[in-house]
Structure 1
């Protein structure tokens, strides 16, 4: 049976995540893939579909509700690929459970507020031009593998070239 990999969306959820298919196309070669819309997991109201409104809802309870949903939905061991706010949800899920084998967070800049590192393999990816990337001091203190991609902004994860590169890396790393 294939290992299970869950993918957690960014704050936009499924409405603006056509790019996630670039990851799924590769990752389904080695995993049973499950994609989650973080807005749905967190009970975030999308009636005002604006970044500031969605962000505020995640910060004010949506992240916690999403973690609770994942604790209910995912009972076995998983690897997680998460984008932006999805990475914060994945990190907190990993802290609350012993179910995460590998965690790949892309542009999850809110992790800079975390002080406890979950168990397991963790890799973080950030765009050099993202104004909210964690400082090197935090990255070194939290003791994770990380990459800062030159000349990239927050949503570099939507680029087909990066999705292929990261997907192949995950396939090679998690299936050996």
Structure 2
């Protein structure tokens, strides 16, 4: 009888541990590179906190540019997803990052194997990253502006000297 009680206790313990997350609530903060004058890639980083009404989330995955990548755990109920894009192809505006748990990840992998679009797969939760755009420097570089000013000053100096000597 005691063995049966031990087995039932272990089973109840595993059922509680394996209970999936219901009603996920996500609070996110995002960061992007905004100065592209000395870098060649724009970094996108989203830190988010996930709270469940009941249960615990399993491993999380994110869809980024039609690719699925794992989400990093950075603390208790805190996660992070990040990637980079070339400065020439990075566009400004809101970027939707779809988050998948183990169940929805399986459906997403199945869709990818079948060659289907991931937009038909329901996500576990969504995170929005706003990229306002990156500063690529002034239209005229300071070296060019200094050269142009020196040429204009030289022209006026030579033309003034020719008028004075004439």
Q: TM-score, normalized by length of structure 1?
A: 0.22
Higher gyration radius (CA)? 2
Name the structure where strand makes up a greater proportion of residues: 2
Q: TM-score, normalized by length of structure 2?
A: 0.23
Name the structure where helix makes up a greater proportion of residues: 1
